[in-house]
A and B are shown apart, each in its own frame.
Chain A
């Protein structure tokens, strides 16, 4: 609220200043456009901040360390993400969510996240689940479809089904932050 009020005030001041300086209508339109862009940028910045109400996106479960070994360690997770991302991009429902994303970054952060959750010596560099999925309009069917594509990828890498489910059991509650529709 405070930020938007401030922005509104800026806009008003800019408009008043413009009027005072007897700017041409073209110049005035340009100034208004600049103010609008500045407001949009501010809104984006605000969205990129970590949400203090969001749960830890990568809680560590040291007891799952043996499961990480079944995934082939951090290297195994990196290989898994190549298959996973290819599957997502090829999927009718999932493709549009990832086509324009920084795929290398998404893969790296997913591997980091899974590695930390499975008790590995990794650091997660991504944002929380609420912030990173805000405004994407993800529904339950989307969420479940992503799980299915991940299951197919894990099968392709011969991750035992029980190990898959131990990871999925930790990821599943994230639907509360990810699913917004």
Chain B
């Protein structure tokens, strides 16, 4: 119980620490030249592995508010607090001329008491570093409103986990891997609706937290991911996401993940996303559900 009470407090503390930076940036004003020229929230937020998108899924948008003539950047901190685990993810991304996005992020997965039960020690933590690249191939999700043609991007995420020994023990075949994905994003302005679909080729177990490939399967598998967001106002969006995941490890059944979220962007410099997320079964702990909170600052 002590653990459950502590983690939301840590989450709030981290958000409180980040918030003044966001507010300070916001005070420089949205009207000034040099501030990114994209419309509010159309750059998405930052997904758990550091790419611009929803919370779980990359979108075809290039992160940051830079247009074709500009460079945009942002930093994010995400806390996912489910029943028996906690995941912290933080990183930065840069969007170049609405064409190329580079991202660097770190995911820390705290096994809390489960780590102790597995003999790894309470609070045993897997740390994964992810380097991402995304390239917009064609389309403009926002402006091309008289055609169904979406914005389409392709991307890759290289991930390296720091617990090779434990990963080998659970049956993972590798401690690093590359996900490849293609995303199509379309804003249907007349319905105030944003749709995204992503096809990911991956070997990652639990996003890579439990390594890559396994005793059941060591081939790339195509996984579908989808997001729907309804724009309530310029500053608020609500929606849901679904992300399929492979099931490669014999000793640890893996399920798909989903969330429902609210995103709030009081200005282009700061956004806050809060979600209820279900990550399914993770190793010996079933039905991992809980709170997802993500703060993004940038321009």
Taking beta carbons and an 8 Å cutoff, which residues of A are in contact with B?
91-93, 139-145, 147-148, 151, 155, 161-162, 165-166, 168-170, 172-173, 175, 181
A148 engages B145 (CB within 8 Å): no
In-complex Cβ contact of A175 among B31, B143, B189 (8 A): B143
B145 engages A140 (CB within 8 Å): no
B191 contact set on A, CB distance < 8 A: 165
Residue interface mask B140-171, A partner, CB < 8 A = 1: 00111110000000000000000000000000
Known: A92-B31, A172-B144; 12 extra A-B contacts, CB below 8 A, are A91-B31, A92-B32, A92-B33, A140-B67, A140-B98, A141-B70, A142-B37, A155-B234, A161-B232, A161-B234, A172-B145, A173-B143
**What is the bound-complex CA distance between A155 and B33, given in angstroms?**
23
**What is the bound-complex CA distance between A25 and B222, given in angstroms?**
81
B192 contact set on A, CB distance < 8 A: 161-162, 165
A166 engages B189 (CB within 8 Å): yes
29 residue pairs from A and B, CB less than 8 Å apart: A91-B31, A92-B32, A93-B31, A139-B37, A139-B67, A139-B68, A140-B68, A141-B36, A141-B37, A141-B69, A141-B70, A142-B37, A143-B143, A144-B37, A144-B38, A147-B39, A148-B30, A155-B234, A161-B231, A161-B234, A165-B189, A165-B191, A166-B190, A169-B189, A170-B145, A172-B143, A173-B143, A173-B146, A175-B143
Min Cβ gap A70→B in Å is 13
**What is the bound-complex CA distance between A101 and B74, given in angstroms?**
37
Mostly, the B contact residues are loop
**What is the bound-complex CA distance between A92 and B35, given in angstroms?**
12
Mostly, the A contact residues are helix
**What is the bound-complex CA distance between A143 and B69, given in angstroms?**
12
**What is the bound-complex CA distance between A144 and B231, given in angstroms?**
17
Taking beta carbons and an 8 Å cutoff, which residues of B are in contact with A?
30-33, 36-40, 67-70, 98, 142-146, 188-192, 231-234
A173 contact set on B, CB distance < 8 A: 143-146
B37 engages A145 (CB within 8 Å): yes
The A/B interface has a contact count, at CB < 8 Å, of 65
Kindly report which residue of chain B lies nearest to residue A59, judged by CB atoms. Answer: B146
In-complex Cβ contact of B37 among A140, A151, A166, A168 (8 A): A140
Kindly report which residue of chain A lies nearest to residue B232, judged by CB atoms. Answer: A161
B38 contact set on A, CB distance < 8 A: 144
Min Cβ gap B68→A in Å is 6
A169 engages B37 (CB within 8 Å): no
**What is the bound-complex CA distance between A10 and B38, given in angstroms?**
49
Kindly report which residue of chain A lies nearest to residue B42, judged by CB atoms. Answer: A144
**What is the bound-complex CA distance between A159 and B294, given in angstroms?**
31
B39 engages A169 (CB within 8 Å): no
A144 engages B33 (CB within 8 Å): no
**What is the bound-complex CA distance between A37 and B113, given in angstroms?**
85
B31 engages A161 (CB within 8 Å): no
Min Cβ gap B12→A in Å is 30
**What is the bound-complex CA distance between A91 and B31, given in angstroms?**
6
B31 engages A172 (CB within 8 Å): no
B98 contact set on A, CB distance < 8 A: 140
Min Cβ gap B84→A in Å is 40
Min Cβ gap A42→B in Å is 33
**What is the bound-complex CA distance between A173 and B69, given in angstroms?**
19
Given that A161-B231, A161-B232, A169-B190 are contacting pairs, would A181 and B142 also be in contact in the complex, using a CB cutoff of 8 Å? no
Min Cβ gap B283→A in Å is 44
Min Cβ gap B245→A in Å is 34
A141 contact set on B, CB distance < 8 A: 36-37, 67, 69-70
Min Cβ gap B200→A in Å is 29
Min Cβ gap A76→B in Å is 20
A181 contact set on B, CB distance < 8 A: 69
A155 contact set on B, CB distance < 8 A: 234
The CB with the most chain B CB atoms within 10 A, among A142, A168, A181, is that of A168
B143 engages A165 (CB within 8 Å): no
A172 contact set on B, CB distance < 8 A: 142-146, 189
**What is the bound-complex CA distance between A175 and B233, given in angstroms?**
22
List of 4 A-B pairs having minimum Cβ-Cβ separation, nearest first: A141-B37, A169-B189, A140-B67, A169-B190
**What is the bound-complex CA distance between A65 and B161, given in angstroms?**
57
A148 contact set on B, CB distance < 8 A: 30, 39-40
**What is the bound-complex CA distance between A13 and B178, given in angstroms?**
73
Min Cβ gap B43→A in Å is 11
Given that A161-B234, A173-B143 are contacting pairs, would A139 and B69 also be in contact in the complex, using a CB cutoff of 8 Å? yes
